[in-house]
């Protein structure tokens, strides 16, 4: 049974560009959360999607947006990239009423 | 707002030593508390959790007790192994409709043979 799959594993973008990160949740999970983890820091909550809607959002600007598809997979979009957006982006899936989060290995984004 | 504070690392121990990683929290309401572990090159894995006061979470020889009176959730293991070398994160979730996890900064543990 596959866990959470994220793609791509690594990518490099230029300031001002846009990026899309993808996440396939663990089989049977219907909720997807996204986190940003800067080097040497704990993860910071970006948002959570359930039933194709944003259910909760952290303190991130509108440049960060997302989407959940009917098959529960999700995308994270970041527009107008800044150097400070360089981080590991983590996707976590769960059942809507459970704290059993399963994390993917993350996407390492470098903005140059 | 809610927050988690955990002891700074790195922590270096010899194999079979006793481990304590301190974690304290600030939260309104009745949060659930978690310890996650991140092995080198891998994603975050749930190590243990506790959802109410006085609960003890345990897994793989690790334990932590939810202490509401001291707002703490310290991680302990009686005898560490080299394979326990990793970064350990304490986290909380506010509960109810507040599903986001709030994390500490992480504590790096290195166990030497």
Of A4, A56, A99, the CB nearest to B32: A99
Strand duo B107-112 + B11-14: pairing? parallel
* Mean pLDDT over the full length of chain B: 93
The pLDDT score that the predictor gives to residue B1 is: 84
- For A101, the closest chain B residue by CA position comes to B46
- For residue B42, the chain A residues in CB contact (below 8 A) are 105
Tokens in use for B29?
A: 């309401």
pLDDT at A1 over 60: no
Residue-wise pLDDT tens digits, B41-88:
788 999 999 999 999 999 999 999 999 999 999 999 999 999 999 999
Residue-wise pLDDT tens digits, A7-24:
999 999 999 999 999 999
Interchain CB distance below 8 Å, A42 and B104: yes
Whether B97 and chain A come into contact, CB under 8 Å, resolves to yes
Task: Give mean pLDDT, residues A40-57.
Answer: 93
Interchain CB distance below 8 Å, A40 and B44: no
pLDDT at A82 over 80: yes
């Amino acid at each position: 049974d596959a866990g959470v799959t994220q793609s791509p594993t690594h990518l490099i973008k230029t300031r001002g560009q846009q990026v899309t990160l993808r996440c396939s949740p663990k089989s049977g999970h219907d909720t997807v959360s996204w986190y940003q983890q800067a080097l040497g820091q704990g993860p910071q909550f970006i948002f959570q999607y359930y039933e194709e809607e944003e259910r909760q959002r952290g303190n991130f600007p509108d440049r960060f947006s997302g989407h959940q598809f009917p098959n529960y997979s999700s995308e994270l979009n970041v527009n107008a990239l800044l150097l400070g957006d360089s981080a590991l982006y983590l996707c976590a899936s769960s059942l809507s009423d459970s704290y059993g989060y399963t994390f993917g290995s993350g996407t390492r984004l470098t903005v140059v | 707002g809610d927050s988690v504070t955990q002891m700074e690392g790195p922590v270096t121990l010899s194999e079979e030593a006793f481990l304590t990683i301190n974690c304290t929290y600030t939260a309104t309401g009745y949060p659930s508390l978690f310890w996650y572990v991140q092995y080198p090159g891998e994603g975050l894995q749930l190590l243990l959790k506790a959802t109410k006061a006085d609960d003890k979470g345990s897994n793989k020889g690790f334990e932590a007790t939810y202490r509401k009176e001291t707002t703490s959730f310290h991680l302990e293991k009686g005898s560490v192994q080299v394979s326990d070398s990793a970064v350990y994160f304490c986290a909380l979730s506010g509960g109810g409709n507040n599903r986001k996890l709030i994390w500490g900064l992480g504590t790096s543990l290195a166990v030497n043979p």
